[in-house]
Amino acid sequence: MALTALLGVCGIADAAPTPNWSGLDVREYTGQVPQAGTLIAQAALAPELGLPSAAQAYRIHYSTPDVHGAPATSTGAVFVPTSAPPPGGYPVIAWAHGTTGLGDDCTPSALPRSARDTAYLSHWLDQGYVVVSTDYVGLGTPGLMSYLSGQAEATSIVDSVKAAHQLGLPLANRWALVGQSQGAGAALNAAQRASALSAGTDLDYRGVVATGTPANFETLVGLAGPGFPPVALPAALNAYTGYIFAGFSDARPDLDVPSVLTQAGREVLNQARTLCYADMAALMSNKQFGTLFAEPLASIPGAQAALAEYMRTPYTGYDRPVFLGQGLRDTDVPAPSALSLYAQMLANNQPVELHIYPDQDHSGTVLASLPDSTPFVARILAP
């Protein structure tokens, strides 16, 4: 797949613009970290980072634990529609973004949105919802963003919704999750944990929309080693896998993942910590991932089980409706991923529905799903 076709999955407009922190640069934050879900600071979002359907937009800084469970912070953006708030306030959509990269320069709230994401998020604003978009802990804040960590991404999302309710906006307590690609896995992990993570608040979680969902990848990724996979993967999958190992290595330093890598593999791991998606995909194009390993990952005792715990997308434990959308032309997160997840959910009597888009790829499914996901969200967020 051509690199230009890959750029759409990242959610950022073009290659490497300079981040605009909207006067709220907290990359080196050393202040107090209050209870998780607390709004620490807010600023008006720079106009060039806004959405055409937003009457107001804010950049927020709030507390949320990191992948180790330690007190930490995240940033995000909040967009308010132009329509007047309904009785009881605006319902909230928590948007979980797709892959942008792990470095601070890849922070979504500090960069222009892609044309696709601008259209998609504007659609939800036009429906009368406030959109809350976390960056995930470690992206634009101290530490490394824990790519595909279900735990860290879930808490980042739920805590962003808690923080948004402290802005003084007329918000309802009803909220739903919407995510794509990395964000689909994050949204599903948040969906499984939402009721527990919002216990003690008046937040009323209603359901989730996930498109291009990564699921059951941990089994394949756990087999990584010399000669596996035996072929060069698409650049997108190679980039994602590089990010996975960078995040996993940071989350589990006790396993010493770099010890089974070649020198070239360790260099890729270091680059994955900073390169944004377009540059990472270019770096990993036509690369055989197995050549980055000197020993199998499985040679590290407990590594495969730890990887599964780190990145597994759950197929049980959902207490609200789940919408899965999948394009059959998706080569970034191939259809068997979401289809296998759907089968697992059905076998476990989960409240799931599946929508297939035969002519859509990974990025195209986002907008193609709107005729189906819009009434789904309207139904679950009804008063």
**pLDDT 10s digits, 256-268:** 999 999 999 999 9
Whether pLDDT at 58 is above 60: yes
Look up residue 280 and give its two tokens: 């990472």
pLDDT digits (tens, 9 = 90+) for 147-191: 999 999 999 999 999 999 999 999 999 999 999 999 999 999 999
Whether pLDDT at 7 is above 70: no
For residues 197 and 154, the answer to whether their CB atoms sit within 8 Å is yes
- Smallest Cα–Cα separation from 293: which of 257, 256, 327, 255? 257
* % pLDDT > 70, the chain: 96
**How many Cβ atoms are within 10 Å of 231's Cβ, its own excluded?**
8
Whether pLDDT at 309 is above 50: yes
Q: What is the pLDDT of residue 13?
A: 40
For residues 141 and 26, the answer to whether their CB atoms sit within 8 Å is yes
Whether pLDDT at 1 is above 80: no
Please tell me what DSSP assigns to residue 88.
Answer: T
Band (pLDDT 50/70/90 cuts) for residue 11 is very low
- Look-up: residue for tokens 């593999």? 265
Q: What is the pLDDT of residue 231?
A: 86
pLDDT digits (tens, 9 = 90+) for 202-219: 999 999 999 999 999 999
Between CA 279 and CA 264 the distance in angstroms is: 17
Whether pLDDT at 192 is above 80: yes
- Tell me which H or E stretch contains 141: none
Whether pLDDT at 85 is above 80: yes
Q: Which residues of 332-360 are buried (b: 16+ CB within 10 A; e: fewer)?
A: bbbbebbbebbebbeeeebebebbebeeb
Band (pLDDT 50/70/90 cuts) for residue 16 is low
Between CA 50 and CA 87 the distance in angstroms is: 26
For residue 208, the SS3 value is strand
- Look-up: residue for tokens 């780190």? 310
- What is the pTM for the complete model shown? 0.95
